[in-house]
Amino acid sequence: TATQYLADWRPYPFAIAETRLDFTLAARTTRVRSAIDFRRIGPGDLVLDGAGLKTLSMTIDGRPVDPTLIRADQEKLIIPADQLPDSFTFEAEVQIDPEANTALEGLYLSGGMFCTQCEAEGFRHITWYPDRPDVMAPFRVEIHSDKPVLLSNGNPVNTAPGHASWHDPWPKPAYLFALVAGDLRAIPDSFTTASGRKVALNVWVRPGDEPRAGYAMESLIRSMKWEEEAYGREYDLDVFNIVAVDDFNMGAMENKGLNIFNSKLVLATAETATDGDYERIEGVIGHEYFHNWTGNRITCRDWFQLCLKEGLTVFRDQQFTSDMRSAAVKRIHDVQTLRARQFREDAGPLSHPPRPDHYQEINNFYTATVYEKGAEVIGMLKRLVGDEGYRKALDLYFDRHDGQACTIEDWIAVFQDATGRDLVQFKRWYTDAGTPRLSLTEEWANGKLVLNFRQHTAPTPGQAEKPARVIPIALGLIGPNGDEVLPTTVLEMTEERQSFAFEGLGARPVVSLLRGFSAPVTVAREMTADEQALLLAHDTDPCARWQAGHDLALDALIDRTRGKAVGEALIRALGGLLDDAEADPAFAALCLSLPGEEEIATTIAASGAVPDPDAIHAARRGLVQDIAEAHEVALTRLFDAMAPQGPYRPDADGSARRSLRLACLGYLGRLDDGNRADTLFADAGNMTERQGALEQLIALDRDADALARFAAEFRDNRLVMDKWFMVQPLRAAPEKAVARARALAARPDFDWKNPNRFRALISGLTANHAGFHAADGSGYDFLADWLMKLDPVNPQTTARMCSAFETISRYDTGRQDKARAALRRIAAMPGLSRNTSEMVTRILA
């Protein structure tokens, strides 16, 4: 398969004045007529992309195009430059088959509704077009169909039964095209922008789902208002539509004026959605809306620049969520996600920079590195140039690049020009892969503390040399009595080794390091349990404070896997925390949730040892038991104190109380044999507590009644049944997890072609660390079997799930051999997709 290289990018030799599309929809035989007005702006042939199209006719200014110019093997039509006038209209008529489109790229059917997904390269499945993000055009779209609701991008021009036409005046690349046709109902509302433009808003759902779409609409309105306040950006069309679909490869898509969402990120009621679901809905509605400026008005020149729009838009949605909820909790959650997904990716065979310079299949690069690390890099930039510098740079970005397709170089230039800061070294964060390891040693004498830092980044695939990066290190100092003796100070590390001194200190303080998680690095430093406990009790920075408790727990857990100690310091520290947990329930809940098994394994592997999944599972269980026994009284008191007060509200305060309640339940279940969980499952009026209780019952192996009840109650709700499929393999005892997953997969309602259902079951298992990594290799084989089954149907979803194998080289040779054998089986499958083939090859390399 051909590898694409950033270095090979060349400008497209034509500009498009307008693109006109005319759809006559039919499940098996949709006709697409197109007319594209091209104008030459540079030398070269006319290259159009097209895949799986039945081409009925093609003309240039009315004269037929020779069909033998189609290179089907390359999915291209190449018309030589000498056959082209300087300005011309290319017209085509093609036929496509939405019903056969199980890959869910291009135009497809979901539950009888026509819908599209074009990013990254789906538009070529719809018609011949320059399917690259730097070719932008205004679109006119006609839709003929007997479906009652017919939508596309931009503003409606006219609608009559059986027909609709839309005009999108803002030039856009083809990946932002969208079309929806179906029997849909709207939740209507409106928003008046700061400059007085009235925008009609709709969230479109299937008939009957209207009562579940209100939160999505509220989130949209909050997003629109927030972006005006925080970034001074307004919406730019007369209408904004959101459509929920059941079959979708990812979360949602920012098509201009017509966002298409996975229904799980739209539909929510207290009875069917958890606090986590609500928070994600708000965050993703915001994310897609914010793309209107960072992605749509200013887009990417090529797909290597993906983090230009994704990193920035994630950063903005994180800011939005921290403003809507609790900034401290949001930051800690983001740090947890970054570590669990991005650090893991960066430490293995799939490691790549936020801006990669080559790929085979771009859909494999919608990763934690491009998204989450891309956002962290912007957070560092903001810290280095300050809030005012950031605002100036963003204003300049919108001003200078509106309507353009840009690069990371453009982005960095804007910061340099707006703030005068040299960012040559900083750019390495975009081009170099790998997580730097920051080590700290201290020297203390005569009131002077010297901090000696060293940064080191291990080689990653294709990048052996890792020059030093700019690392903003935010720190404070906490005196032995708990007082802060130095407030947050940002050190800028630019060398491989660098020392910083603090003088005139009375007693030796403890360093509160990497406050606010100021850089995406791992930290290596010696700390005693007492020092960690001091920070957990007194640090003024919530992130560093949480980190101290987390490290204390991690050390205790790792000691236990080695048969050592019992974690007395941790148990004592948690006692202090529980005493005033009511003052900050969210923080207490975060501290009570011990590091997960995957993270313990990662930490053991990073120290050069081989993690044993079964020992890790046992160690964690043992520590939970000891904490439960030591703090039964306090945990019981808090569990009761956090009972609901009044009706369910999906806000920060309510979810903080529920998270603390469930964290306590996780311990108490080890003492009461699950009786509280049983009662809570039966009585709770909201899905957060019900699902929490159910998970606990599964972990305690007394789930039969609850599962049956749950299934009977929610049989007809696909999204809730996805939870049912997910929690069983996830929470089952490791030795039962694979068997359970197998039994679930054999059920008739395991509708595996639906990406949500497939992911629920399969990733439920792969997230059960000791279950998936069963020593007999049964977890690996189960995953491989299902990936091989799904690949011919839906390569994109298959390829994404291959990353469950990305950590195999850290385990013992027995497990490694079994995992590699499973991967080789996938690699050898005839007709394997480019998506999955690239993933498996990289992991096996």
Q: In the complex, which residues of this chain contact ligand B3K (CB under 6 A)?
A: 119-120, 250, 252-254, 287-288, 291, 310, 363, 366
CB of 149 to ligand B3K, least distance (A): 23
Interacting partner of 263 out of Zn ion, ligand B3K, none (Cβ under 5 to 8 A depending on kind): none
Annotated catalytic residue 288:
yes
CB of 799 to ligand B3K, least distance (A): 10
Largest CA distance in the chain: 88
Considering the complex, state which of residue 317 and residue 531 has its C-beta at the smaller distance from ligand B3K: 317
| DSSP strand pairing (137-144 vs 14-24) | parallel
Write b or e for each residue in 234-261: b if 16 or more Cβ atoms lie within 10 A of its Cβ, otherwise e: bbbbebbbbbbbbbbbbebbbbbbbbbb
Interacting partner of 38 out of ligand B3K, Zn ion, none (Cβ under 5 to 8 A depending on kind): none
Considering the complex, state which of residue 408 and residue 660 has its C-beta at the smaller distance from ligand B3K: 408
- Are 103 and 796 spatial neighbours (Cβ–Cβ below 8 Å)? yes
Amino acid at 779: G
- Among the listed residues 227, 254, 288, 695, the single catalytic one is 288
CB of 492 to ligand B3K, least distance (A): 31
CB of 765 to ligand B3K, least distance (A): 23
Considering the complex, state which of residue 32 and residue 120 has its C-beta at the smaller distance from ligand B3K: 120
- Are 598 and 340 spatial neighbours (Cβ–Cβ below 8 Å)? yes
CB of 320 to Zn ion, least distance (A): 13
Q: Where are the alpha helices (DSSP H) in 244-373?
A: 275-290, 306-324, 327-337, 344-346, 368
Interacting partner of 612 out of ligand B3K, Zn ion, none (Cβ under 5 to 8 A depending on kind): none
Considering the complex, state which of residue 254 and residue 597 has its C-beta at the smaller distance from Zn ion: 254
- Looking at residue 489, what DSSP letter applies? E
> By three-state DSSP, how is residue 404 classified?
coil
CB of 305 to ligand B3K, least distance (A): 13
| DSSP strand pairing (76-79 vs 46-49) | antiparallel
Considering the complex, state which of residue 313 and residue 318 has its C-beta at the smaller distance from Zn ion: 313
CB of 254 to ligand B3K, least distance (A): 5
Alpha-carbon distance 809 to 349, whole Å?
A: 9
Half-sphere exposure of residue 42: CA atoms within 13 angstroms, side-chain side: 7
Considering the complex, state which of residue 282 and residue 599 has its C-beta at the smaller distance from Zn ion: 282
Interacting partner of 363 out of Zn ion, ligand B3K, none (Cβ under 5 to 8 A depending on kind): ligand B3K
Considering the complex, state which of residue 370 and residue 578 has its C-beta at the smaller distance from Zn ion: 370
CB of 371 to ligand B3K, least distance (A): 7
Lookup: tokens for 527: 């700390």
As beta bridge partners, residue 160 has 163
Considering the complex, state which of residue 145 and residue 763 has its C-beta at the smaller distance from ligand B3K: 763
Dump strand ranges (E) for 372-412. 405-406
- Are 305 and 408 spatial neighbours (Cβ–Cβ below 8 Å)? yes
Q: What's the chain's length in residues?
A: 845
> By three-state DSSP, how is residue 406 classified?
strand
Residues 6+ apart with CB under 8 A from 747: none
Considering the complex, state which of residue 366 and residue 411 has its C-beta at the smaller distance from ligand B3K: 366
CB of 752 to Zn ion, least distance (A): 27
Lookup: tokens for 191: 């928003």
Residues 545-604 that bind Zn ion (CB under 5 A): none
Interacting partner of 206 out of Zn ion, ligand B3K, none (Cβ under 5 to 8 A depending on kind): none
CB of 676 to ligand B3K, least distance (A): 40
**Total residues binding Zn ion (CB under 5 A):** 2
- Token look-up 């039919």 returns 26
Listed residue (795, 785, 688) closest to 745, CA to CA: 785
- Are 384 and 470 spatial neighbours (Cβ–Cβ below 8 Å)? yes
CB of 244 to Zn ion, least distance (A): 18
Lookup: tokens for 8: 């090979």
Interacting partner of 120 out of Zn ion, ligand B3K, none (Cβ under 5 to 8 A depending on kind): ligand B3K
Lookup: tokens for 589: 């809940």
Write the binding mask 296 to 335 for Zn ion: x where contact by CB under 5 A, - elsewhere: --------------x--x----------------------
Considering the complex, state which of residue 122 and residue 348 has its C-beta at the smaller distance from ligand B3K: 122
- Looking at residue 556, what DSSP letter applies? H
Residues 6+ apart with CB under 8 A from 671: 628, 629, 632
Instruction: Collect contacts of 635-641 with beta carbons under 8 A, ≥24 apart.
Output: 635/578, 635/664, 635/667, 635/668, 636/664, 636/668, 638/578, 638/581, 638/582, 638/588, 638/664, 639/664, 639/665, 639/668, 639/676, 641/582
Considering the complex, state which of residue 310 and residue 599 has its C-beta at the smaller distance from ligand B3K: 310
What strands lie across the sheet with 437-445, from one edge to the other? Answer: 497-502, 448-456, 437-445, 522-525
Half-sphere exposure of residue 283: CA atoms within 13 angstroms, side-chain side: 20
Interacting partner of 366 out of Zn ion, ligand B3K, none (Cβ under 5 to 8 A depending on kind): ligand B3K
Interacting partner of 253 out of Zn ion, ligand B3K, none (Cβ under 5 to 8 A depending on kind): ligand B3K
Binding site for Zn ion (CB under 5 A): 310, 313
Give the active site residues.
288
